[in-house]
Structure 1
Amino acid sequence: MSHRWAAVAGPAVAAGLSVLAGCGTPAPSAPAPPVTFATVQPATVTKLLVFVVENHSLDQMRAEMPYVAALGKQYALAMSYRAVAHPSLPNYLAMTGGSTHGVTDDDPPSSHTTNAPSVFGQALSKGRTAKVYAEAMPGNCALESSDQYAVKHNPWAYHLGERSSCNQFDVPATQLGKDVTNAALPNAGMVVPDLCNDAHNCDLSVADQWLRTQVGKVMTGPDWRSGHLAIVVTADEDDDHQDNLVLTVVAHPSLHGAVVTTPLTHYSLARLYSEVLGAKPLAEAATAPSMATAFGLHLAGS
């Protein structure tokens, strides 16, 4: 990890020449003390907010999402990050639970639930905060798709043992702006665009403009300015063009144009959530390559 270096000044030295007692002959000033250097660590990352788009490969996203591509160029870009399955749902479960839980389709929670923990439940169990912001969701923790809301993109709804927490903290995306302003973004957070703004039903240019607005809004807030928030933009899966290789950007004020070639997956993202929380990674995330290490993020205890 790179660090800034700052000079630490020693005690102040009297200006000019000193005069010896009983003698009018000036004497040279005492030599200045040696200059020492101290490492200035970047702020500890205590909050993670993940934005997810749909069904496009790394090359497609780099070519057709200029804002997201520029974000990766400014902060950090993963060049070897892969989704773990097809279709959407198992990938979302992998990102937030470290496992697909054997799911191979996009069916609603009435067909699939798990009692295994999610990173959101893990956060709450440690006294931290968690929240999912789902655009177009008609109410908290909606278990059925409607209009532009797809429950298959809302993984917390599938964790049956955490349903009461989901009912409280899995909310419509209209709450995001207030939490940004109030420095109330969660320790474990996810933003799920609607079916147009995630590029599922609309062009990548639409998703790119939506992210420009939403990520830009987050970056005006105190959580970002404090250096305690890291932002990830990724895709759930590709469209079979690049063997599930997807564009993944990590943004944090300490990162400056990093290009990461470490092989990473959605299990690595689940591990990053847990590492930010200071918790043990869940399921397959425990053996996945660490995104915190790959990107040099400063976490508590590191």
Structure 2
Amino acid sequence: MRTQMPSTFALAERYGYTTSYAALTHPSLGNYIAMAAGSTLGIADDGDPDVHRLHGPSVFSQALAAGKTAAIYAEGMPGTCATTSGGDQYVVRHNPWTYFVDDRAACSTYDVPATRLPGDIAAGTLPNVGMVIPDLCNDAHDCSLTRADDWLHLTVDAVLAGPDWRSGRLAVVITADEDDRHQDNLVLTTVLHPSLRHVVVDAPLTHLSLSRFLSEVVHQPPLRDAAGAPSLGDAFGLRIGR
């Protein structure tokens, strides 16, 4: 990672990273659903939302029900809450909110193309619970790790220059949905917050740990299996939302 993704490696060294953070399944979709729902909900393929019509709460609907804010910024998505792949290298399997059919109205409002991200950064209106989803090139699926590192460098630098970061209310988590099937599904996960300096977390964590943290940020109980997972926030000593 030091040579292929030097900018991301520098962020990990400066703020914090994990050594034992695991994705839960292959292929991609179940991992995104686990982050959003606290469980893979039994999903073991990359089917579209018309195949997997999920009911019940997500971390996004939790945030809105608590009077907080939620958003997904999906790169290349041709419109809001797009439930089919298309646009400019957008794939719906990486956009978990689109699968929760009870929450389509909110998804249609707050699951937006990533072109909205710069304005929200500048305005200091980044959500309490949010995700930024790169397209298939910038996530290194179809392009190089160098390309992904360049995209992360530009995106994260913009976030760190914004008022939400400067206020101390914002934590940034950089993770991957799954590994390349060569590391037992371990994925390097980097956590950024102004309070962190050279923190290395060796405790076992998973995408359920991230889901739990997202619920905790908005003062809500962890969803489903995330209730039994260690919190990513606790592992890094973050008290955001508490």
The reply to whether TM is greater than 0.5 is yes
Structure 2 residues not aligned, in runs of 5+: none
Per-residue CA deviation, residues 230-289 of structure 1 (Å, 9 max, x unaligned), is 000000000111000001000000000000001000000000100111110001111101
Aligned equivalent of 1:80, options 11, 14, 20: 20
Question: What is the alpha-carbon root mean square deviation over aligned residues?
Answer: 0.9
Q: Does residue 236 in structure 1 map to residue 177 in structure 2?
A: yes
Sequence identity (%) = 57
For 1:159-178, what aligned pairs fall within 5 Å after superposition?
159-178=100-119
- Is this contact kept in 1: 2:169–2:240, CA < 8 A? no
Aligned residue pairs, count: 241
Q: Return structure 1 stretches of 4+ with deviation > 4 angstroms.
A: none
- Where is the helix percentage greater, Structure 1 or Structure 2? 2
- Is this contact kept in 2: 1:238–1:245, CA < 8 A? yes
For 1:76 and 1:283, locate their aligned partners in 2 and report how far apart those are by CA, in whole Å.
27
Q: Does residue 294 in structure 1 map to residue 235 in structure 2?
A: yes
Partner of 2:38: 98
Provide TM-score, normalisation by structure 2.
Answer: 0.98
For 2:7 and 2:119, locate their aligned partners in 1 and report how far apart those are by CA, in whole Å.
24
Query: Secondary structure, in 3 states, of the residue corresponding to 2:136?
Result: coil
Distance 1:254 1:127, change over 3 A: same
Provide TM-score, normalisation by structure 1.
Answer: 0.79
Q: Which amino acid counterpart does residue 259 of structure 1 have in structure 2?
A: V
- Where is the strand percentage greater, Structure 1 or Structure 2? 1
Q: Which amino acid counterpart does residue 229 of structure 1 have in structure 2?
A: L
Per-residue CA deviation, residues 54-105 of structure 1 (Å, 9 max, x unaligned), is xxxxxxx455211111111000011100000000000000011111111110
Computing the radius of gyration from Cα coordinates, the structure with the larger value is 1
Partner of 2:214: 273
Partner of 1:220: 161
Partner of 1:70: 10
1:300 offset after TM fit, Å?
Answer: 4.0
- Is this contact kept in 2: 1:62–1:247, CA < 8 A? no
Query: Secondary structure, in 3 states, of the residue corresponding to 2:116?
Result: helix
For 1:292 and 1:151, locate their aligned partners in 2 and report how far apart those are by CA, in whole Å.
28
- Is this contact kept in 1: 2:16–2:200, CA < 8 A? yes
Partner of 2:97: 156
Q: Which amino acid counterpart does residue 69 of structure 1 have in structure 2?
A: F
Partner of 1:257: 198
